[in-house]
Amino acid sequence: MNSLNLDHFVTARVAFRRRLTGARAERLGKRIGGSEFDDHGMLVEVDDPPAPPLAFHMVYSDAKQQLSGRCITLRNLLHEVAEVRLTAYCHMRNALRTFVASRVVELTDLATGEVHEDGLAYFRQHPLLGHATADDLTNRSAELLAVQACRDEIIILSFVGASDGDFDEDEQNEILKHVLLSVDEQLNENEVRRRVQSWVPDERAFERALARICAGEGDAKALMRSMRRVIDADGEVDSEEVAFASEVQTRLIQAGRL
């Protein structure tokens, strides 16, 4: 059995970040100043899901269209006619700041690593908004609900796929299949793929996800089946992948889930 250590997490996170950086450069096409998305952001305290997401890394465009990256902890949201205004603690400035949601060009949930590319759309449906009712929160797309339901499995499978430093398309396709097979209804495959590919979790997200599955959430047996497919997807079985798989299997067996 290969033991799991910090180096395995570092290698996987490099693969996540490389993919994110490439997509971001292509999409935004300009330099980001200030506090970029690096390891200092992981020091922000976050609550476990399913609590409302409050800690984020944000890429923000100012009035001069200059981009800056910063970590924030959300304090309040105010819905205006065609806008949402955020009050948040900015960890770069060490002070409360107000932001306009339409200028948030990228948002990373620090609890899960999920990346959102439309700040205004995201914050319009955030649970902190005063006008958000229970019906609003449940009236979401089937694709979003499926990804949320599989969030812990996605985090774990993503780490297995990226553990060798290369998170390739075949491995991502197996995670996509895991989500599609988790529900009986037909989902928009492209939308699910977009959401699955937007995760950049860290080791704390992995530990939280595995702990929740050990405690009884999710489908442990389906997770193990998908994990084997992710490992086999690139035609090679790497020691790094084995380390993650062994850790997950051992903890699930100890918890009585397998």
The pLDDT assigned to 40 comes to: 47
Spatial separation of the C-alpha atoms in residues 24 and 16, rounded to whole Å: 12
82-91, pLDDT tens digit by residue?
899 999 998 8
151/245 same-domain check: yes
In a domain, 92, yes or no: yes
Task: Show the domain range for 182.
Answer: 141-254
Please check whether residue 145 lies inside any domain of the structure: yes
Which distant-in-sequence residues (6+ apart) come within 8 Å of 146 by Cβ?
A: 179, 180, 182, 183, 187, 192
Residue 20 lies in a domain: no
* One domain for residues 159 and 125: no
CA pair distance 250, 79, nearest whole angstrom: 47
- 186-to-46, 136, 192, 196, 197 alpha-carbon distances in Å: 33, 22, 11, 16, 19
More confident position, 134 or 178: 178
The answer as to whether 54 is a domain residue is yes
Give the model's pLDDT for residue 197. Answer: 84
**Count of domains observed in the chain:** 2
Among the candidates 107, 138, 169, a domain finishes at 138
Same domain, 126 and 167: no
Tell me how far apart the terminal alpha carbons of the chain are, to the nearest angstrom. Answer: 18
CB 236 within 8 A of CB 163: no
CATH code, domain with 181: 1.10.3680
Lowest mean pLDDT segment, chosen from 35-44, 108-117, 168-177: 35-44
| 39-60 residue pLDDT tens | 544 456 666 666 778 899 999 9
Q: Within its chain, how far is the Cα of 207 from the centroid? A: 14
107 and 160 assigned to the same domain: no
State pLDDT tens for residues 142-169: 888 898 889 999 999 999 999 999 998 9
pLDDT, tens digit (0-9, with 9 covering 90-100), for 237-254: 889 999 999 999 999 999
Per-residue pLDDT reduced to its tens digit, 11-22: 998 898 888 888
Q: What is the DSSP letter of 114?
A: B
Q: Which residues contact 208 (CB under 8 A, 6 or more apart)?
A: 48, 49, 111, 152
159 and 247: one domain? yes
